[in-house]
Chain A
């Protein structure tokens, strides 16, 4: 009788262990299934379109025919030219880009964007460089090459850190 009870108990324990093992396996499967990809804070197309959009921005710098876009102002800055009112092209470029970056990518501890970096390089010479905030391990970036207009090859590099 004693042996019979022991056997019955062993069988119940065995059955309970099977249920526990199956439950643990199902929990693992469920956790993988429910894990969903979250949208990135910054998408790469945003960084790309930001660079393309700011290149069209019309600045306060004027030559003999028109007010220059940032794109044309970069070429003027590379040549060391001045605007019609006597201001240095590079100074206007610097201040305009600084303001654009501040308004477009507000950074901070409590903000999703932790920092950014913009570099405009003409051949091997750095024309403009802005770095703000913290450089983290996560970033989205954009690169734009401007075909030379009788001067240097311009390379624009932009990174947003989050």
Chain B
């Protein structure tokens, strides 16, 4: 009888040990799971930022060839990566029509060579170096373009192209 009681006590001890073991392991994996969920959800914001950067990068490589900016055939044969400076200035003063058209926060065209850091306005154009089409304080990605315009040189209308960068801004909050 005593032996049976002893066996029962042993069995109960074993069951208790197993139960505590299972609870501890379950708690451990629950904590790990919570930790992982926190990490996964915190990277969602970073992913959306990456998406905006990628879309800005895609746009900056194509913007110069869009009808609103491109030189088309106005400067002889079709030029790739060429922005018509006069079109850009016209767009600057009609940008409200294009609000949120490209889904970005800002667009700027900056002359690289010859360098000129003066902001372009209707008063000083074309003797200026920076056309702000849409102003923004966000992060910018850039691409090289030829910035072309028609100029009156010694009574003759000639094409004049300079080297510039188009900068697309995103991520302004």
**Which A positions have Cβ atoms within 8 angstroms of B?**
11, 15, 19, 22, 26, 30, 33-34, 36, 39, 43, 45-46, 49-50, 52-58, 66-67, 69, 99-100, 103-104
Contacts and interface: CB of A to CB of B under 8 A. Distances in A.
Contact of A15 (B24, B79, B82, B164): B24
Contacts of B161: 56-58, 69
B23 interface: no
Contact of A104 (B21, B28, B113): B113
Contacts of B79: 56
Contact of B163 (A11, A43, A54, A67): A54
B163 A53 contact: yes
B61 A49 contact: yes
Nearest 8 CB-CB pairings of A with B = A56-B146, A50-B144, A53-B144, A56-B161, A52-B81, A49-B144, A53-B146, A103-B113
B131 interface: no
23 contacts: A22-B32, A26-B32, A34-B39, A46-B142, A46-B143, A49-B145, A52-B80, A52-B81, A53-B144, A53-B163, A55-B146, A56-B82, A56-B148, A57-B113, A57-B146, A57-B161, A58-B159, A67-B158, A67-B160, A100-B113, A103-B113, A103-B115, A104-B113
Interface of B: 17, 21, 24, 28, 32, 39, 46, 53, 57, 61, 64, 79-82, 112-113, 115, 142-146, 148, 153, 158-164
Contacts of A100: 112-113, 163
| Chain A contact surface mostly | helix
Contacts of A33: 39
A49 B143 contact: yes
Nearest to A50: B144
B79 to A, nearest CB: 6
A104 B162 contact: no
A122 B169 CA distance: 40
Contacts of A103: 112-113, 115, 163
A11 B24 CA distance: 13
Nearest to B165: A104
A58 B160 contact: yes
B81 A53 contact: yes
Nearest to B83: A53
B39 to A, nearest CB: 7
Contacts of A50: 144
B19 to A, nearest CB: 14
A19 B29 CA distance: 10
A45 B163 contact: no
A52 B143 CA distance: 11
